[in-house]
Chain A
Amino acid sequence: ETGVTQTPRHLVMGMTNKKSLKCEQHLGHNAMYWYKQSAKKPLELMFVYSLEERVENNSVPSRFSPECPNSSHLFLHLHTLQPEDSALYLCASSQAASLRGETQYFGPGTRLLVL
């Protein structure tokens, strides 16, 4: 069983809602990630937090806002989303982001539907 947990597992929201996704890792890792997985598309990295530094994919819209209060917790705040944002949002962690070929361990994901 994975050491990365995500809540909620399913979320339905309107375009005017504000919601947050939560991720927690119990592996003692120092880097955490948010990914978006849409049907028939490759996994898309959205954000990375490593040793409290943030790296982001420049193509991610500002309606997605990450927060990483400590090395074990990661949030994704959602605001005024669009229907095309409906997807599986995956959290992952790794020992570190900067070392050679770090293996990432994924959570079960949050299935988001935007109406």
Chain B
Amino acid sequence: EDQVTQSPEALRLQEGESSSLNCSYTVSGLRGLFWYRQDPGKGPEFLFTLYSAGEEKEKERLKATLTKKESFLHITAPKPEDSATYLCAVQASGGSYIPTFGRGTSLIVHP
């Protein structure tokens, strides 16, 4: 059974205090790993897709990395507008369309 575990569940940072969010996964063959951002009362917003170990992608203050067991979302010098819930999902290569989502990390960045 595919599993996705995100940690920490919640994270509070001061503005400018860099940190990382973790997404550990167990899947029988990875088709893709996805990071989304979700603001309260809104649908998830796509951030990154990673396909293979060693791959990295960046967007503004965010950088996503991937190994064979986990992915990290690094946040460099965060700002209050980065406050949101960050969701990780994996899609297995076994033929199912159904992605497995983690419970998310709730990030609050204080000014």
Contact = CB atoms under 8 A, between A and B. Distances in A.
A96 B36 CA distance: 19
A111 B41 CA distance: 8
Interface in A51-105: 55, 57, 90-92, 97-98, 100-105
Contacts of A91: 43
B31 A101 contact: yes
A50 interface: yes
Interface residues of B, number: 25
Interface string A36-57: 0000111111001010000101
Contacts of B103: 40-42
Contact of B43 (A48, A90, A100, A103): A90
Interface of A: 2, 4, 6, 31, 40-45, 48, 50, 55, 57, 90-92, 97-98, 100-109, 111
Interface of B: 4, 31-34, 36, 41-46, 49, 51, 87, 89, 91, 97-104
